[in-house]
Structure 1
Amino acid sequence: MKHILLVSQYFYPETFRVNDMACEWVKRGYKVTVLTGIPNYPMGKFYDGYDKKHRTREIWNGVNIIRIPLIARGNSSHKFMNAVGMAANYFSFVKSGKKWVRSKEAADLHADIVFTFEVSPMTQAMIGVWYGKRYNVPVFLYVQDLWPENVETVTGIHNKVIIGPIDKMVDKIYRETDTIFTTSPSFVNAIVNRKKPVDKSKVHYWPQYAEDFYKPMEPQIIVGIDDNDGYFKIAFTGNIGTAQGLDVLPKAAKLLKDEKVKFVIVGDGRYQVEFERQIEVLGVAEMFIMIPRVPAERVPEILSVCDAGFISFNKTPLWESTIPAKLQSYMACGKVIIASASGETKRIIEEAKCGICTEIGNEKALAKGIREIISYNKADMGKNARIYFEEHFNKKILMDEIDKYFF
């Protein structure tokens, strides 16, 4: 039985797909130990019951969890303070990870594989590299966010004094990693074609899947949502952040005030206060149903009373190269996709014939697209979404594929 050390700064009870991957590996007979931080994403404060002294070691669904200290992200209305809080969060986890790698607990772990699940920050991948080098085990990396591109896009910082060292760190991580997986074909190209090229033979496209509970279902009873009110309901689920480009929605809603359309927003995040302010300023509050973050298992229930799922980005080359995890979730539930996006997301929607993709940030094009979708045969689009999901994002097929790399 192989023992996987899974390095991920975020893990249960934070809601990331890595949770399901860990549980699936346990079901497949692997021993799984997760090295993670104290849960604080996305709101920036430690979850109730978790801190540097409590619940630092626990077992969840057969997964052994080791939580090492870090500084919570914080949540400030000031952009600079947010950046400082995030940097402290990132580097405190790496500092604790470096110390842990040298500990007796790490030495006694005897993992056969170290696998880093890399959503930002990329810095966490250094822990996997250090462990692999110290204990002579293969190092695997699953790249969800490209660095330093992500840092430049999110912070707007392009200063070589700051970006240069990050770039060198990324070069080191890629050089000392045995196998690299990425979530989109565009990421493969970006990694292989860096200034310091990465051997193409060790970089592989391995898309995200959706958990088994994401599936089509009959409309459920959801408090606050009337399934029989005749409105066309468009759902957005997940983090409400600046990268999502959600400011296009209130603007499009204003153009659709005479239509029977409602937007169901499920989640929270740093941009939520400003997003809700825009809704009020534009006078479209009656068109929005705001639902606080729910366990991922409940998302399909909410989608069951909605007609479409919404995806949007800010306009940057990085986001155009990204395939957002919610795309697979919507498709698994057989939902029509409405997107204000481009690049990989647009490619998949067009290949699947499961919805529309309008120009990023263009509220007029989005409003027009929504009107068109309402008049289309939405049942066929939903079926197309599910068919494409089964053919390209099937969990069993993808997990079978990754198994081959471990032996």
Structure 2
Amino acid sequence: MKKHILVVSQYFHPESFRINDICTEWVKRGYKVTVVTGIPNYPQGEFFEGYGWFKRRKEKWNGIDIIRLPLIARGHSSVGMALNYLSFVVSGFIWKLFTRIKADYVFTFEVSPMTQALIGVWYAKKRHIPHYLYVQDLWPENVEIVTGIHSPAIIKPIDRMVDYIYRKTKIVFTTSPSFVNNIKSRRNFDKHTKVIYWPQYAEEFYKPVRNASVPEIPDDDSFKVIFTGNIGYAQGLDILPRTAGLLKNENVKFVIVGDGRYMEEFRAEISKLDVNDKFVMVPRQPAERIPELLGACDVAFLSFMDTELFEMTIPAKLQSYMACGMPILAAASGETRRIIEEAECGICSRIGNAEALADSIRKLMDPEISDTKVMSGNSREYFISHFEKKKLMDYIDNYFVR
């Protein structure tokens, strides 16, 4: 009989994160899975309908036992986000003291905040079992970028917390090779902790859908560039209204699917530059609908803020785009650029440079310069070779049977 995995993740179903699928796959493979998570409130910043401090605190979903700890909804401010992070950890500390759950391993799925990993560390220490950590966001680097805080009085304690978490973790899995190097190079890194590159996969429903017709996207002859996902500051989407202004006389539309903290400013910038006719805004959709939305467009777009951290990052949407066989247009550098160029599946331009991005779009529109059908095939092939789900889940299985 396979073991019991306790998963710590501040975000879980019905919030849309890849840990949902990872846990579902573990159940299919015979593991007992218990998830300790929060009350769903991402990305809107308010509790999802039907959930609250006294509602649906325990659930069963896809064979997974879910325990929801009380927390403060993140709201729409930095203060709200900080209280959201802190409240989950405080609830986790209290839960750890009284829980009778007996697991064989702890697996913390770390997208920000890193603080949630403390719950996994504390539980693992109490039960004398190994703690595994899957790092999606590097701390304290992510804190500095998102909040703009660089004060040593704040950053140094966070740095010490991160050292403590790594020291108490048996294996740190990371989403990019650059993250491996960064973690190993930390001044106080414990050499006994293993750090392993384990890339993200895309769920099995991410498959190519050709020439899809969906009601949200106009069925016309425009060249459609689609972005899907969180519309936050880190995504660097401020480049798109400026690019649209440069392409006013071109038959191009930008399809934006999702929502997030930057959405209001994003819409304001679109109106300010008088490029509303260039944008098709689609509300956040279930992840299962993304392939058909991609299939109604010509190329998929991703971008970042211009920081050293994002040079090291491989965003989850890259795997999703490639699984759907999309040619990729990116304003990115580092790991993302490396993969796109290795796969020969698209064009990368400099971060923040609207003129370069507009030029890239013109190239993709010109069949004599760019063969988007070849790019599409290359994208899917690279995904299957490097990011296919079964291979990656088989790989991590090796560490849970030891």
Q: Which range, TM-score by smaller chain? A: over 0.9
Where 1:126 maps in the other structure, the secondary structure is helix
- In the alignment, which residue of structure 1 is the partner of 2:82? 87
Find out whether 1:391 has 2:355 as its counterpart. no
Choose which of 140, 152, 177 in structure 2 pairs with 1:185. 177
Runs of 4+ aligned structure 1 residues displaced above 3 Å come to none
Q: Deviations over 1:329-354 (max 9, x none)?
A: 00000000000110110000000000
Corresponding residue of 1:338: 329
Residue 102 of structure 1: SS of its match in structure 2? helix
TM-score by length of 2: 0.98
Are the equivalent residues in 2 in contact too, given 1:191–1:198 (CA < 8 A)? Answer: no
Q: Distance between the aligned counterparts of 1:234 and 1:163, measured in 2?
A: 38
CA root-mean-square deviation: 0.9
Q: Distance in 2 between matches of 1:72 and 1:217?
A: 36
1:219 aligns with 2:211: yes
Distance in 1, Cα, partners of 2:344 & 2:222:
23
Q: How far does the alpha carbon of each residue in 1:172-225 deviate from its partner, in whole angstroms, 9 at most, with x for none? A: 000000011000000000000001124276000000000000010233331132
Q: Equivalents in 2 of 1:405, 1:256: separation in Å?
A: 51
Pick one of 276, 285, 289 that aligns with 1:294: 285
Aligned ranges 1:242-321 → 2 under 5 Å:
242-321=233-312
State the one-letter code of the partner of 1:55. R
> In the alignment, what sits opposite 2:32?
31
Residue in 1 that maps onto 2:139: 147
Q: What residue number does 1:54 align with? A: 55
CA contact (8 A) 1:192 1:200 kept: no
The amino acid of 2:283's aligned partner reads: P
Residues in 1 aligned to 2:38 and 2:296: alpha-carbon distance in whole angstroms: 35
In 2: Cα distance, 1:152 partner to 1:58 partner = 35
Match of 1:159 in 2: 151
| Secondary structure of 1:46 counterpart | coil
Q: 2:94 aligns with which of 83, 91, 99?
A: 99
Contact kept, 8 Å, 2:167 with 2:189, in 1: the verdict is no
Gaps of 5+ in 1: 76-81
SS in 2 for 1:357: strand
Q: Are 1:239 and 2:240 matched, yes or no?
A: no
Q: Report the TM-score, using the length of structure 1 for normalisation.
A: 0.96
**Deviations 1:203-257 (CA, angstroms, capped at 9, x unpaired):** 0000000000001023333113233x11111110000001101000010011111
User: Residue 214 of structure 1 aligns to a residue in which SS?
Assistant: coil
- Name the CA distance, whole Å, in 2 between partners of 1:96 and 1:224: 41
- % of aligned pairs identical? 63
Is the Cα–Cα contact under 8 Å of residues 233 and 262 in structure 1 kept in the other structure?
Answer: yes
SS at match of 2:234: helix
Structure 1 residues 61-81: Cα deviation after superposition (integer angstroms, max 9, x where no partner): 111100000000011xxxxxx
User: Partners of 1:345 and 1:35 in 2: how far apart?
Assistant: 32
Sort the Cα spacing of 1:243 and 1:200 in 2 relative to 1 into closer, same or farther, 3 A.
farther
Q: What is the distance in 1 between the residues matched to 2:190 and 2:273?
A: 48
Q: How many residues end up aligned between the 2 structures?
A: 397
Tell me, yes or no, if the aligned pair for 2:166 and 2:189 is still in contact at 8 Å. no
- Displacement, 1:144? 0.2
Residue 124 (structure 1) aligned to one of 77, 100, 116: 116
SS of corresponding position for 2:172:
strand
Whole-Å separation in 2 of the counterparts to 1:201 and 1:354: 36
Matches within 5 A, 1:198-217: 198-199=190-191, 202-217=194-209
